[in-house]
Amino acid sequence: MPSCTHTWSAVSAPVGYVVHPSGFVRSPLAAAATSAQTAVMLLFAPNASLALATQVADALGIRLSPSEEREFEGGEHKMRPLVRVLNQDVYVLQTMCGDASASANDKLCRLLFFAGALKDAGATRVTAITPYLAYARKDRRTQSQDPVTTRYVAALMETAGIDVVVTVDIHNETAFDNAFRKHTVRLEAADLFAEALANDLGSHPVAVMSPDIGGIKRAQRMQEHLTRTLSRQVDLAFMEKRRVRGTVSGETLVGDVAGRAVVIYDDMIVTGTTIRRACQAARKAGAKSVFVAAAHAAFLPTAMQLFDSKVADSVLVSDSVVPPPEFTQWIGNGLRICSIAPLVARTIQDLADLQAR
């Protein structure tokens, strides 16, 4: 009588499995290899954001993932990953402040199209790291039938397949949170700035000042960071500001800044008018010294007046936006740049760890 025992052929075993009398069993080595493959961190960046992305990659201890970015006639472009992204957790860093090389619209479109390409190629999750988010200031209607562009940008990102959005010092936190239905992460440069400012402030009494009422909560968080860093009380003040058809007015300063080292904190500097007015008000109210800190150096040419006037002892910004070339003369001479790369790297690592659980 012929034997009913079947000899399993190793050739017939599927990839990643080993032969077992009870059937195919997952190979521990194959499982470990698959897990290691899944744990690979992929960080991409369009050319416009390569400098910051390279610093973030260095902080993570990885290399930027290779990609191809090509330009075509009529201003069109494409970008594609040059490594396999199937079933991978992917991060794309693109800061979207318009400059001489590319508009905010161009940078936004490059991010959207690349995110779409990643999803089409099978990426499990796409996280957009947008230190400076385009159109974040157009978060409400100020005139009849105005667009609420922040909400439209959120819809575009969701449609392109972006699963998580990370940004730094967003202009209006509530509007940002309400605009996005996906997972969002709001980072703040206040912690980095507090460390950088500690030596400047010395042993003098300190006050944190918001240049307008809308930034009070942001100033309060800077106050908390400085209180912890300096291990002493830090006061709070704010300026009245009204803007009508581009004209800024309002002179009232609320809070005591006399004899204090004042830190004027805002999310961005664009024209420099708001910050310069706040500096002048603090000086007039008897401030001993005035330091400015803002996450985004979205300088327009008129911001040069902030440095020419010497109304601030120093201006501290992050590298979320590369200052225009004409402002480089002030670096180390009134303008200081603090890198957000460590902050962004920690956030990416935290997100990757949560995804791996």
Would you say the CATH fold of 190-339 matches that of 37-188+343-356?
yes
Q: Select the CATH number that applies to the domain covering 37-188+343-356 from these four: 2.30.110.10, 2.60.120.10, 3.40.50.2020, 2.60.120.260.
A: 3.40.50.2020
pTM: 0.84
Q: At what angle do helices 216-230 and 190-201 cross, to 10 degrees?
A: 60
Return d(Cα 251, Cα 266) in angstroms, integer.
Answer: 18
Return d(Cα 116, Cα 161) in angstroms, integer.
Answer: 6
Q: Between the CA atoms of 193, 195, 199 and 205, what dihedral angle is there, to the nearest 10 degrees? A: 80
Q: Where are the domains of the chain?
A: 37-188+343-356, 190-339
Residue type present at position 119:
K
The per-residue pLDDT string of the chain (357 residues; one tens digit each, 9 = 90 and over) reads 443 333 333 333 343 334 443 344 444 444 433 444 445 789 999 999 999 999 999 999 999 999 999 999 999 999 999 999 999 999 999 999 999 889 999 999 999 999 999 999 999 999 999 999 999 888 778 788 888 889 999 999 999 999 999 999 988 888 888 889 899 999 999 989 999 999 899 899 999 999 998 899 999 999 999 999 999 999 999 998 666 555 555 678 999 999 999 999 999 999 999 999 999 999 999 999 999 999 999 999 999 999 999 999 999 999 999 999 999 999 999 999 999 999 999 999 999 998 887
Return d(Cα 231, Cα 87) in angstroms, integer.
Answer: 47
* Residue 218: alpha-carbon gap to chain centroid: 16
Backbone angles phi, psi at 130, to 5 degrees: -120, 80
Q: Select the CATH number that applies to the domain covering 190-339 from these four: 3.40.50.2020, 2.40.160.10, 3.20.20.100, 3.40.640.10.
A: 3.40.50.2020
The CA radius of gyration of the chain, in Å to the nearest whole number, is 25
Task: Give 67's strand partners.
Answer: 81
Residue 11 is encoded by which pair of tokens? 């050739």
Residue 146 is encoded by which pair of tokens? 């105005």
The residues annotated as belonging to the active site are 241
Cα–Cα distances (Å) from 107 to 48, 130, 255, in that order, read 8, 10, 41
